[in-house]
């Protein structure tokens, strides 16, 4: 007999809550970004803690979280930023699996350290797939985020999950306290004028406006006059705008661009940056210099 599909209802969606799985692979050639989690480490951890052998569709919650009402039992785990999490008005620990039953209310408050948490469900969210992925990205999916009143489907289960990760290891690398961002020279580094290369190595930056498409790093780099280029922009690419700002391509970032691709981030540094908020001061640490 197949397991019954049940749901929780979104009473309040929070600042920006979306469904994300491992991403929409194989479509960048058609102009479709990868999407998926901004902080892959915290996403994978929430899935492991709740008992999923492989990462399943989960909620990515930014800055402040949703309020959910459950209509049937399911095991849940939340990992990532430090945040107030209450289950039926009782404080619930992060990085621990817990059972949400019929009539239970789960509230995710405001982040106190970091920017994003991930809420994973045992068996994953049973969400529609678009181009092979449940990750929300408009207009590939009908909406970019979860709206108020949405019913999030899951496979109900009372069985205690088989934990495949140590739940005692709470601190993640993406939430480390540091003021340096590790960067590597980008595809167009050699086309960047020498005086700007020196400014990049010595300058300090402040996290500016940011979202799932990208992060702005604001500093004092000299304006640059150059002929616009056209090239691929893999996630983690850092472009230097003509005005001297740095633009970091993130999960939903454009697949091509016209600015110099002066630097790049590896996956661990993208995870770290995804947990930083506006106003954070950073210096660049050239790991291949």
Instruction: Break the chain into its structural domains and give their ranges.
Output: 5-172, 180-286
3-class secondary-structure state, position 272: helix
Q: What value does the mean pLDDT take over residues 157-163?
A: 71
Please report the pLDDT score of residue 4 as a whole number: 56
Nearest-angstrom CA–CA distance, 90 and 71: 19
Please, what's the b/e burial string for 22-41 (b: 16 or more CB within 10 A of its CB; e: otherwise)? bbbeebbeeebbbbbbbbbb
pLDDT computed for residue 5 by the predictor: 66
Mean pLDDT of all residues in 109-117:
97
Which candidate, 207, 286, 277, 211, places its Cα nearest to that of 246?
A: 207
Residue 55 CA to residue 77 CA, distance in Å, equals 13
Kindly report whether the global pTM for this prediction surpasses the value 0.85.
Answer: yes
pLDDT at 286: 95
Q: What does the pLDDT read at residue 167?
A: 47
pLDDT at 98 over 60: yes
CATH for the stretch 180-286: 2.40.100.10
C-alpha 157/C-alpha 256 separation (Å) is 43
What was the pLDDT predicted at 165? 47
Q: What is the pLDDT of residues 204-232, one digit of tens each?
A: 999 999 999 999 999 988 887 766 678 89
Mean pLDDT across 61-78? 96
């Amino acid at each position: 007999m197949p397991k019954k599909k049940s749901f929780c209802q979104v009473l309040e969606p929070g600042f920006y809550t979306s469904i994300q799985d491992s991403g929409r692979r194989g479509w960048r050639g058609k102009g479709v970004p990868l999407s998926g989690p901004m902080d892959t480490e915290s996403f994978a951890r929430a899935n492991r803690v709740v008992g999923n052998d492989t990462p399943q569709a989960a909620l990515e919650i930014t800055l402040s979280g949703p309020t959910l009402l459950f209509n049937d039992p399911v095991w849940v785990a939340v990992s990532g930023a430090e945040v107030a999490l209450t289950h039926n008005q009782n404080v619930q620990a992060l990085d621990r699996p817990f059972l949400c039953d019929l009539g239970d209310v789960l509230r995710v408050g405001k982040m106190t350290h970091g920017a994003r948490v991930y809420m994973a469900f045992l068996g994953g969210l049973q969400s529609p797939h678009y181009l092979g992925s449940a990750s929300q990205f408009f207009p590939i999916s009908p909406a970019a985020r979860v709206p108020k009143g949405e019913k999030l489907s899951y496979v109900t289960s009372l069985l205690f999950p088989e934990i495949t990760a140590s739940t005692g290891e709470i601190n993640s690398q993406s939430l480390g306290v540091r003021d340096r961002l590790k960067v590597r020279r980008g595809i167009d580094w050699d086309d960047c004028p020498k005086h700007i290369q020196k400014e990049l190595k010595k300058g300090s930056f402040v996290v500016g406006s940011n979202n799932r498409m990208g992060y702005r790093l604001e500093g004092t780099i000299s304006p640059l006059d150059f002929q616009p280029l056209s090239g691929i922009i893999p996630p983690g690419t850092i472009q230097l705008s003509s005005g001297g700002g740095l633009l970091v391509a993130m999960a939903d970032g454009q697949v091509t661009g016209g600015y110099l691709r002066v630097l790049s981030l590896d996956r661990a540094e993208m995870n770290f940056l995804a947990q930083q908020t506006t106003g954070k001061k950073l210096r660049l640490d050239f790991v291949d210099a």
